[in-house]
Amino acid sequence: MCGIFGCILKEGNAAPLIHSSLKRLEYRGYDSVGIATISDGKIFMKKDQGKIDEVHKILNLDDLPGNLGIGHTRWATHGAPLKVNSHPHTDCTGEIMVVHNGIVENFMELKAELQNLGHTFVSKTDTEVIPHLIEETLKNNPKLSFVSAIQESIKRLEGSYALAIISSRDPDKIICARNESPLVLGINGKGVFCASDIPAFLPITNKAVMINNGELVILTAQGYEIKKISDSTPITREPITIEWTAEMAVKQGYPHFMIKEIHEQPETLRNTLRMQDHYLDLLTTFLDRANEVFLVACGTSYHACLAASYMFSKLAFLPTYPVYASEFVEQHGKSVNIDSTILAVSQSGETADTLAAVTCAQQRAATILGLTNVIGSTLTRISRVYIGTQAGPEIGVAATKTFTSQLSVLAQLALKLSKKRGKISQDEMDCLEENLKKMPEDVETIVRTQEEKIKQIAHKYKDSKVFFYLGRGISTATAYEGRLKLMEIAYIPSIAFPAGESKHGPISLVENGFPVVFICPRDDSHKTLIGNIMEMKARGAHIISVIEEGDEEIKALSEEYIEVPKGIPSVLSPIPFVVPLQLLAYYTALEKGLDPDMPRNLAKSVTVK
């Protein structure tokens, strides 16, 4: 999730404006920054790794000539956060400059093809194929205009992109295009602007033109022209007036980052599911060879590990040990060895407990694999192989979109390993892959259809003194995560455990009106879970169930029910089933007048042991 910005001013230099606009997009990533401008038909460019202020101090980003330019603030996905991977990226001639937000899924094929044709690549990014592709298209069709060459080139891209492109070959234009990554134009009497997001230009103008998927935009000092990438059909779209304040704009109109991030999950899941097979294959090979596998993490990331232990066991017959990172050294520090493999999972990649566990295992020659949302974090530097979760920066202290992204990577790994080991039938594999693919849609449906109902449930139960969260099998992990969310942002003491354990002690707490949240996918444990619900009901508990649509049996036993779409396989169920629990925690915190983005005593990244 990077930030792009471009502008053509009627008067004055573009670079200072691009710089200040990128600052307002820094919440989208800050691994590196770069600006390219055109003056007198010549290209000028500055870029480096580091936060915008750091780079500006050294390079003076404002000191670039020309009234037209583009800029980028990066959140690394392909390639480490280094200068060489910073945007803008260019072709062999240095005449074409591209900034990009998104993921070009087929970049490896394109890169190989272009390298065979003699193109030289300098970075590890997916983006760099774009300027080379445009260069090659122009070489093969010298009569083509620069705009048409871009249009033809991007037709070959698979994946997501918001692009802003400039060139000394056509020095008075910025050409933009969009597929699945956000892009918006800003207009005022002084110039035209393109950006990933409205906050970038809000202090300059509140007149915006939204760009849709499959559209190409030509910006000139005179204005903008939109057309379809596929067949050049012109599109007329008038600016709308944005009423947001600058703070609202950063949150895209949502009152809090947490709810914005909950709503972003269809998009972040889509991005994560676009993961390059190559990385998954590599990690799968290590897991396949491992003698013993520890899944090590803290908090929400630990819950992803717990769910993953069921996925690996059920799909690939691989036993794994989920371990709280803070306990790893005490529990396994002496026995971990050269034959052990550690898969460390951490949103930030900087959690001290996780890094301590990893360091201990590394000193004893174990293989370290990493799964993190932050490329360039310590975890990526100390892992033998790592995968990025592609969720974009998560600002809310409560992890939401990174949890579902972690789960979707772990599910993909389990499926790959299962395939490699030939453990499940082709039909089952097809069904699981199909279901994983439609997960973004399912999450979209849940948020769209259940949010209002969840608000009412939050209102009704906001004064409860304690909650239970129960599930069986993999849903135990979902229950743990739902309970952590409620505790950390709504400050309601909550208890989660496998539903079968309730009769071994915790049930003594239950009295009239006691809220018990049951996670109820329609899996092999459904019947037994109904028994557990009955036990709770018999003691006066109020059942709040998360059920599959049309699960009349559990519906009839519940005071409240929240529905998720039908037919979700059990091993994938934590992804959709956790979403209502995130919403329940969020709305309960609001009901109690709390700020869900800033829960007391907590920090986004816990860098102390």
Q: How many residues of this chain interact with ligand M6R, rule: CB under 6 A?
A: 17
259 binds ligand M6R (CB under 6 A): no
| Nearest residue to the partner ligand M6R, using Cβ | 299
Residue 292 phi/psi, 5° resolution?
-140, 140
- Cα 37 from chain centroid? 31
404 binds ligand M6R (CB under 6 A): no
Q: Which two tokens stand for residue 156?
A: 């070959």
397 binds ligand M6R (CB under 6 A): yes
- Cα 129 from chain centroid? 23
Told to judge if 2 belongs to the known catalytic residues of this protein, a careful annotator would answer yes
Nearer to ligand M6R, 151 or 300 (CB): 300
67 binds ligand M6R (CB under 6 A): no
The residues in 472-531 that bind ligand M6R, with binding defined as CB under 6 A, are 484, 488
Contact with ligand M6R (CB under 6 A): which of 125, 272, 309, 348? 348
351 binds ligand M6R (CB under 6 A): yes
The DSSP 8-state label assigned to residue 180 in this structure reads B
On the 0-12 / 13-18 / 19+ scale of CB atoms within 10 A, 464 is: middle
346 binds ligand M6R (CB under 6 A): yes
359 binds ligand M6R (CB under 6 A): no
392 binds ligand M6R (CB under 6 A): no
Query: Considering 23, 314, 604, 609, which one is annotated as catalytic?
Result: 604
If we measure between CA atoms, which residue out of 192, 221, 227, 197 comes closest to residue 210?
197
The DSSP 8-state label assigned to residue 438 in this structure reads T
Nearer to ligand M6R, 121 or 491 (CB): 491
335/351 Cα distance (integer angstroms) = 23
Asked if 268 and 404 count as a contact pair (C-beta separation under 8 A), the reply is yes
Q: Which two tokens stand for residue 472?
A: 């069986």
**Least distance in angstroms from the C-beta of 351 to ligand M6R:** 3
**Least distance in angstroms from the C-beta of 602 to ligand M6R:** 6
**Least distance in angstroms from the C-beta of 255 to ligand M6R:** 19
Q: Which two tokens stand for residue 428?
A: 């089952």
Nearer to ligand M6R, 86 or 351 (CB): 351
- Cα 396 from chain centroid? 13
Told to judge if 155 belongs to the known catalytic residues of this protein, a careful annotator would answer no
- Cα–Cα distances (Å) from 200 to 28, 31, 408, 602, in that order, read 11, 18, 31, 29
Residue span binding ligand M6R (CB under 6 A) among the ranges 24-32, 46-54, 138-146, 344-352: 344-352
Contact with ligand M6R (CB under 6 A): which of 399, 487, 541, 547? 399
Nearer to ligand M6R, 135 or 488 (CB): 488
Query: Considering 2, 7, 305, 360, which one is annotated as catalytic?
Result: 2
606 binds ligand M6R (CB under 6 A): yes
Asked if 546 and 562 count as a contact pair (C-beta separation under 8 A), the reply is yes
Residue span binding ligand M6R (CB under 6 A) among the ranges 112-120, 124-132, 284-292, 395-403: 395-403
Q: Which two tokens stand for residue 387?
A: 């995968």
- C-alpha R_g of the chain: 25
Nearer to ligand M6R, 167 or 346 (CB): 346
Q: Which two tokens stand for residue 583?
A: 């919403």
Q: Which two tokens stand for residue 551?
A: 């699960």
The residues in 298-317 that bind ligand M6R, with binding defined as CB under 6 A, are 298-301
Q: Which helix (DSSP H) or strand (DSSP E) does residue 13 occupy?
A: none
The three-state secondary structure class of 98 is strand
CB neighbour list of residue 40: distance below 8 Å, 6 or more residues apart: 65, 66
**Least distance in angstroms from the C-beta of 153 to ligand M6R:** 38
**Least distance in angstroms from the C-beta of 585 to ligand M6R:** 9
**Bridge partners, 46 (sequence order):** 35
Residue span binding ligand M6R (CB under 6 A) among the ranges 193-201, 224-232, 391-399, 555-563: 391-399
Nearer to ligand M6R, 365 or 602 (CB): 602
**Least distance in angstroms from the C-beta of 223 to ligand M6R:** 45
Asked if 101 and 70 count as a contact pair (C-beta separation under 8 A), the reply is no
Length of the chain: 609
Contact with ligand M6R (CB under 6 A): which of 308, 398, 477, 499? 398
Asked if 50 and 22 count as a contact pair (C-beta separation under 8 A), the reply is no
**Least distance in angstroms from the C-beta of 78 to ligand M6R:** 21
User: Active-site residue numbers?
Assistant: 2, 604
Q: Which residues bind ligand M6R (CB under 6 A)?
A: 298-301, 346-348, 351, 354, 397-399, 484, 488, 602, 605-606
